Structure 1
Amino acid sequence: MAEFTIRVYKNRDYNAVRILFTEGMLEHIPATCAYMLKLSRAQFILFISFISLLLVSRSYLLSLFSLAVVFMAARRQLTKEYHQYVDRCQREDLLDIEESYMASNNSCFWVAESNGRVVGMVAVQSVPHSSEAMVLRRLSVAKDQRHKGIAKALCTKVIDFARQRGYKMLTLETSMIQLAAHKLYETLGFEKTDDKVIPSLLGRFANFSILTYEYKIKDE
């Protein structure tokens, strides 16, 4: 028997959903930092900074300390960008979930519940000015509830919803570091169709991109 159930969003889920989204997004900060540290350009800058500081101060300890300060400043900027994204989403569609997703027949929001706790979420909307495409949004599963098939079940719910309404295409966006998500989408039959670098200073420096996936809906 499944350890979770999927149901339509209710007003009482509001705080849990917003917390789940925030935790899920901020969880990507360490992986993004690790990715950036592997970049040759980042390593070059750190190396040059260390050598320059060493030549000026003639102190390995002071140079290492200064390098740590540079790293912490970069991590702080990265964390700030993640928080800004979360805040923007909380002020946009997640500010009024009922209005954003439940007021139309061609949009919906679901939660996965386990033992009375919201442990997963996903949403879908029709693509503006299109009668054939929908977009999957806000997929997130609590960290301690993964590997139980929740994300797959939520995605399947969205696919079925789109098919029942006669849509031919389902699209979504995800970041390049969300490797587990890529594997899930590809297992379900999604195909990567685009790859765009985030147009921020940090995004361009790190060549950090957002991937677009598409799923062609077939009639059963």
Structure 2
Amino acid sequence: MGNSPVVLEYANNYQAQVVDLILQIQQQEYNIQITKEDQPDLSAIKDFYQTGNGNFWVARYNDKIVGTISLLDIGNQEVDLRKMFVDKEYRGKKYKTAALLLNNAIKWAKEKSIKSIYLGTTTQFLAAHRFYEKNGFENISMEELPENFPVMQVDKKFYKYRVD
């Protein structure tokens, strides 16, 4: 396998690794007190994300899941970017995992004629803020979100990406 992870559509056989990766980053790295039970979407990824114009992808390096990203269909040709997590060792220029995941999701959105991608994030993910801004996401206020955008309790900072 080359130096870059491969982005694949989510399949159920990835579930345990996906949950482990996300919880490890949330709990250990960012000290966010959140459990698998607090995130019922993680137990039903196919039903929750892979419907309508939504999807869920994993970045795989050899046999290890090293990143995740999803688009949740929120109607009106708009999606919510969620569950973007990359293993600490696979961040940055060497592997470009986050860029591979995001570019894959944007390509999907274009193919599905999505108008806008929205996302909410916590204030402590500073590197993520820089990454999104560098990749064309505009910082917006909560009032600018579509009314059907599912704001999570931890979301305090919001972004919009115009696909067209």
Name the CA distance, whole Å, in 2 between partners of 1:214 and 1:107: 16
Choose which of 37, 40, 48 in structure 2 pairs with 1:100: 48
Residues 195 and 209 in structure 1, CA contact (< 8 A), matched pair in contact too: no
Residues 17 and 121 in structure 1, CA contact (< 8 A), matched pair in contact too: yes
TM-score by length of 1: 0.64
Q: How do residues 158-177 of structure 1 correspond to structure 2 at under 5 angstroms?
A: 158-177=105-124
Q: How do residues 1-220 of structure 1 correspond to structure 2 at under 5 angstroms?
A: 1-26=2-27, 27-29=29-31, 82-83=33-34, 86-89=36-39, 92-102=40-50, 104-127=51-74, 130-147=75-92, 148-194=95-141, 210-218=156-164
Residues 58 and 66 in structure 2, CA contact (< 8 A), matched pair in contact too: yes
Q: 1:195: how far off?
A: 5.6
Give CA-to-partner distance per residue, 1:90-111, whole Å, 9 cap, x none.
xx21111121122x24111110
Name the CA distance, whole Å, in 2 between partners of 1:195 and 1:25: 23
Residues 109 and 124 in structure 1, CA contact (< 8 A), matched pair in contact too: yes
Give CA-to-partner distance per residue, 1:22-57, whole Å, 9 cap, x none.
01111112xxxxxxxxxxxxxxxxxxxxxxxxxxxx
Secondary structure, counterpart of 1:88 in structure 2: coil
Name the CA distance, whole Å, in 2 between partners of 1:149 and 1:134: 23
Secondary structure, counterpart of 1:176 in structure 2: coil
Percent identity reads 26
Q: 1:199: how far off?
A: 10
Secondary structure, counterpart of 1:112 in structure 2: strand
Q: Structure 1 residues 10, 199: closer, same or farther in 2, change over 3 A?
A: closer
Letter in 1 for 2:87: A
Q: Which runs of 4+ in 1 moved over 2 A?
A: none
Name the CA distance, whole Å, in 1 between partners of 2:100 and 2:121: 18
Secondary structure, counterpart of 1:182 in structure 2: helix
Q: Structure 1 residues 174, 199: closer, same or farther in 2, change over 3 A?
A: closer
Letter in 1 for 2:48: S
- Larger Rg belongs to: 1
Name the CA distance, whole Å, in 2 between partners of 1:199 and 1:96: 18
Letter in 2 for 1:83: I
Letter in 1 for 2:161: Y
Q: Which has the higher helix share?
A: 1
Q: Which runs of 5+ in 2 are unaligned?
A: 144-150
Give CA-to-partner distance per residue, 1:7-28, whole Å, 9 cap, x none.
1111110100001110111111
Give CA-to-partner distance per residue, 1:51-101, whole Å, 9 cap, x none.
xxxxxxxxxxxxxxxxxxxxxxxxxxxx6xx135x5311xx2111112112
**Number of paired residues?**
153
RMSD, matched Cα: 2.2
